[in-house]
Structure formats: C-alpha cells, structure tokens
Chain A
Amino acid sequence: MADLEIRNLHVRIEEREILRGVDLTVERGEVHALMGPNGSGKSTLANTLLGHPTYEVTEGSILFKGEDITRAEPHERARAGLFLAFQYPVSIPGVSVANFLRMAINAKREQPINVKEFRTQLQHAIELLDVDRSFTSRHLNDGFSGGEKKRAEILQMAMLQPDVAILDETDSGLDIDALRTVAEGVERLHTEQGLGALIITHYQRILHYIKPQFVHIMLDGRIVLEGGVELVERLEREGYDEIRREFGGVSV
C-alpha cells in the first residue's frame, strides 16, 4: 500500500483541462522531483492533491495510505498526514506563527499539546530553519520577505510532521543562503523523520542540495518522462525544448 498514489488524474479549472492523466506514487522516505516548464500543470497537481476547491477532478483518483481522498476536504487530507508548502503562502494578519502552529497541531490531536512539549518542538524547528526566535511571534506571513515565507512553510512542515510533503516551487525567489537552509531543513526531515517529499520545481538548483531518487518530467498536463537523478543532468544540458520535441506532440 503506497503512501500517496495518484492514478490517471484529470483536472480542469473552469472549462480548461490542465491535468490529462497523471500517475505518480510517493512512499514515505522517498524524495521525488517533479519538473516541468511553466504552465505544464505542476502547481495544479499540488493544489489538487490538497483539495483546492477551484480545481475539479474529472477522472482518476488520489489515494493516501490506501484511502481514496479524491473528494476529501483539505483539512482531512492534512490531518491524514499530507502537507503542501505553498509557492505563494498567503498572509494571515493578527495570528502569530506560534499560535497558528499550536492550532494546526491541536487540530490533529484529541488532547491539546502541552506547553512544554510544544516549546521543545518549536525550539528544535527554529534551530533547524535558522530563524530568529522573534520570528514565531510575528503574524504569519504578514510583511514577511519571500525568503521568510518559504522558511515559515518549512517551519510548519517540521512542526506538523507529515508523512508526505509536496513542496511547490519552494526554491523560487530564494537567494542561495536561504535556499541552502531550506533545502537542509527538508533533507533533515527526510533523513530524521522519514518524510516523503514531492519537490516541484522549474529549475535544477534545489536538487543540488536535495538529491531525488526519482525524477518526473511533466509536459502539458502529463508526466512524459521518468527516471533517476540523471534526468536532472539531461535537463541541464538540453533544456525543456529537446524533451518537448521528443514527447510534446500534443502541445496546446
């Protein structure tokens, strides 16, 4: 039984079909990279996996730990152990990072987390992400720089301890230092907690810090090529155009 299994997924927004039959499986402890040019459907897949109401699944299914979650509410998917690090995290004014984290953790639990345990976990996550202590008393993403937002996403991931995380363009807009910190954070969660990760990216550079075992190339709403890390090197040499010439016969 796979942890995350995507079967023949078709998704449309309004009248436009974006995903046209995606199959993908992610197990705990595995790192997958999903690569593709802008507009190929990567972010649509990420949002659909968490159940964003704008995206309509017209065919196929999503299974998580054996359960069909295709129609589940977003919060049910989260509580089951799925996580999405957003490409563009929204700001939540008036709610501190720490308070939000406590709410999110308690949403999964029967009994609220005790204060000491929460503090210990938070301290651990703060060190992991190399953020200032005061960071957690700021309002979530409100007035955060791009880098701070991405760190806040990974901080939440570290605290919520999902089984499988989807990282949607977490590398975009980060300078090299922030990228390294964020990538190291993901790497540690992967090795220490057995996190399964689906890293969605347009570029190759984050994959210099986190080595994926599996690489999937998406074009026009389909995964057209799969392999190991050698695919990343091929992309670096040839770019998407070569792959599109080979596989993109149905270009839109």
Chain B
Amino acid sequence: MSEVAVKPGRHREATLYHALHGAGAGDGRTLEQLREAALAVYESTPLPVWRRSGFWTTSFDELDLDALQVRHHAPGEALPEVVRETIPDRARAGRVVQVDGSIVHVELNPELAARGVVFCTLEEAAREHTEVFTQWYSKRLTCERHKLEAANAALWTGGAFLHVPAGLVVEDPFEVVYAIGSPGVAQYGRTLIVGERTSDFRVHEYDLAGDFEGQALHAGAFELYLQDGARCRLAQVQDWGTGEVFDASTRFVGVGRDAYCHWLPALLGGHLVRQHLELAVSEPGGDMAFRGVFFAEEHELLDVFAVDLHETGPSGGDVHWRGAATGASRASFEGLIQIDPGAQQTHTYLQIHTMALSPKTRLDAIPSVLVSADDVSASHGGTVGELDEDAIFYMQSRGLDRTSAVRVIVEGFFEPLVSELKDEPLEELVRGKIAAKLARAREDIEAYAASR
C-alpha cells in the first residue's frame, strides 16, 4: 500500500469517508478464516454511524438487527411479484435470483456455458471453481470497516458468481437479482465477477423489495475485476420500495490494463441507504465512465460515497452523477477523485448535478480531489438546480399542463445519463420509476413552486 491514504486536513473526513484503496481482505486466507475474522468484528462493533463535518449523519441506530433473520427458500420457488413485474422480459445471457437468504433461480444460456462462461451461486463457486474464487474473492473488499460490512463477509449466503472467459463477447446482459420478499429479513448478498482478457459483456443488477411494512436489511458486497482489455457495461437498478429497508453496501470495480468499464447505478429508493462505490483504474491504459442517478423521496435518506481512484497512469476517468429529491428526503453525494503517487497522465473529471423539488428536502453534493501526482488533470464541477418557472411557462404555452411540464424538465434532467444505459428496456424501466416518483410528489412540487 502506498503512503498517500488520507492525511488529516487534506480531506474533510479522515475516518470513514475514504477510499478502500487496495485494502483487500483476500490475502491468502481461506473463506472460513475470512468469515471467522469478519464474525469477530461483527460481534464486537456497534451499528455504523457515518458523520461528515458535523453537518451530516447517517446512522443505522434505528435498525433492530436482532429482530431480523436470514430467511431461506427452496430452489425454484416462485419469484416475488416485485421481481416479475419490475424486470423487463427480454433476451438475456443468464440470470441469478436471490430472494432473502437463498438463490431460488439460476439460468445461463447453454451456448455460453459451452463456451466456458460460469454463472452460478457464489456458494457453488467457492466449492466448484476454487481457483478463480480463491484468486479474486475479497481481493479488494474489506471486511472490518463497520459492523454491516463484517456481517456480509461473515454471514453471506447464496450470492452470485460470473466468470467470462478471455475474448468472449456477450451482447445480452447477465442479470443478478437481490430481492427482499418480506419484512424481518436480513439479506447478505455478495457478488463476484471476473472478466478475463478482452472479454466484453453487460451486467444488470436489480435490488428490489415490495411495498411492505416493517424493517429489513440488505448488507451487500460487490466486486468486479476486468482483466487486460476487457470491457463491461455495469448497471444497477435499486428500488427497495416503501418499506423500512436499510441498505449498507460496498461495491468495487477494478479496471485492468487497457480495460474499460461503464458503470451506472440508479439508486431509486430505500428507507436508509448507504453506498460505498469505488471504481479503480489499477493498470496503465484503463479507462472508465462512472455514472449515476439517484432520486430520494418522502422520508428516505440516501448517502452515496463514490470514489474515482487512479492507482496508475496513464488512465482516464469521467464521473457524472445526477440526483433529485422530493418530500422530506435527504440525499448526500460525496464524490472523491483520488490520484495516487505515480499515476501520471491521468485525466479525470467529476460532475454532480442536483435538483431539489421540495422546500423540506436536503441535498448535499460534495466533490473532493486528492492528487498525489503532478502530470495529471483532475477537476470537478456541478450545478444545484431548482425548477425553472420560465421553462414551465414555455412548455405550458405549447399546451402541456404544469404537471407534464415539470415531468419533462425532471426527466430531461436525468435523460443524458439514462440514455447512456444504451439498453432500451432498462432505460424504460428507469424512466418509468422516475415518472412514478414525480407523480407521487406532484402536490409537493406544486406547493413548492407556488411558494416561490
């Protein structure tokens, strides 16, 4: 590990808001040893609280963890309604569905299986594909930064594993689904994906729950490693519904030599969501586009920490996020560009645009830059927006009513990123969810406009 890490004062949060930065737990220990080490942390630490500069607190104190349980289901059990109704019915390379604590559905296009693709539960990978599993499992994820991360590392069940062999190009997406079927559930989902040399594929992850009453937890871990020249388009649609779903997840994407990743999480709902998302260019020539959209409503709290990490150069980065909030929701996006010593000829840019649609909402957008190389360019920008009354009048003068005009503005605000999904069914899903949120917040938005 390098010395740069985090020096107090250089970055506003010196304890918890920082990059994992290569602190992988997978250091030769067996899975059992890793689970044991994580369990010790899990049992000896309190529920996590993230604080930033005294002005922002994300606390899991209200989660009654002891009341939750890992619930199991038999393979082949019917998929929850929310899964059947949300996920577009379309051509796919394969699908792994975890409901609560169990994988209930695994499918893989037989042609791809014949060509060496492995797409199965992570449990099976640990048993049957030990070489790849051991090489990559938890290579760049930690297991002891906080109780819920440790809980995942110690207690994960089911899980998804995808291994795409060298040179293989797969057009249709591999789908990974984590669904919470009912309240009272703790779900520890874990995904490991390895794209070998010059492979080219898509991954769509869905994190879904129905609209139930009561608490549930998703503590997730996700890691994706792209080898030399590999390309991946990774999209994630998260909507935990209106129940009290807590989500504390850590996701890491490692980009190898001349590899490329386009990563777009769409974080569209959850009672209390804390996401650590880290995209690291680890080898020369790696490039990435790190996109994201979020929309918080009602009393939700969303806390995103997104890291654009450059461990070596030359490398490219382009981070672009857009978020909106309605109701009394709170949303914080902190984006960190970190360029390590020696990562010369890195060029990266971070932009974050937000739109507050209610007087009671709170939206924070905080870019940070931590640069330890001199021949680089790293900058950030962004906008804080509200509804433009002149734009609304303009559209009304063309016959659109006020509600439609607001919808057009907000959808237009997200459109540059949604259209980057370059996948019609997924784009339609995200657009539909944004439209539904706007419809729910209609009165709120109109009252806000009238008050100004």
Contacts and interface: CB of A to CB of B under 8 A. Distances in A.
Contacts of B411: 94-95
Interface string B129-170: 000000000000000000000000000000000000000000
B402 A90 contact: no
A94 B397 contact: no
Contact of A92 (B394, B396, B397): B394
Interface in B336-388: 388
Contacts of B395: 92, 100, 104
9 contacts: A50-B396, A74-B393, A75-B398, A86-B397, A92-B394, A100-B395, A100-B398, A107-B401, A139-B412
Given A53-B389, A90-B388, A94-B414, A104 B399 contact: yes
Contacts of B47: none
A84 interface: yes
B399 A90 contact: no
B275 to A, nearest CB: 25
A111 B395 CA distance: 20
B398 A156 contact: yes
A133 interface: no
B398 A160 contact: yes
A78 B396 contact: yes
B416 A93 contact: yes
Contacts, number: 76
B428 to A, nearest CB: 14
B421 to A, nearest CB: 14
B415 A95 contact: yes
Given A52-B393, A90-B391, A92-B391, 9 more contacts: A74-B397, A79-B399, A84-B397, A90-B394, A92-B408, A94-B413, A94-B414, A94-B415, A107-B399
A119 to B, nearest CB: 19
Interface in A86-108: 86, 89-95, 100, 103-104, 107-108
B447 to A, nearest CB: 15
A73 interface: yes
B429 interface: no
B404 interface: yes
A103 B413 contact: no
Contact of B400 (A86, A93, A103): A103
B5 interface: no
B409 interface: yes
B396 A75 contact: yes
A75 B399 contact: yes
Nearest to A99: B408
Contacts of A75: 396-402
Nearest to B407: A103
B390 interface: yes
A151 to B, nearest CB: 16
B408 A103 contact: yes
Going nearest first, the 6 A-B pairs with the smallest beta carbon separation are A94-B412, A94-B415, A74-B396, A107-B399, A78-B399, A104-B398
A77 B402 CA distance: 13
Contacts of A100: 395, 398, 408
A218 B413 CA distance: 40
B399 A93 contact: no
Contacts of A108: 399
Contact of B399 (A89, A92, A160): A160
Nearest to A156: B398
Contacts of A156: 398
B391 to A, nearest CB: 5
A107 B407 CA distance: 14
A104 B402 contact: no
A188 B391 CA distance: 28
Nearest to B388: A90
Contact of A95 (B399, B402, B412): B412
A146 B411 CA distance: 25
Contacts of B401: 73, 75, 107
A95 B408 contact: yes
Contacts of A94: 411-416
Q: Most B CB atoms within 10 A — which of A51, A75, A93, A107?
A: A75
A179 to B, nearest CB: 23
Interface string B408-431: 110111111000000000000000
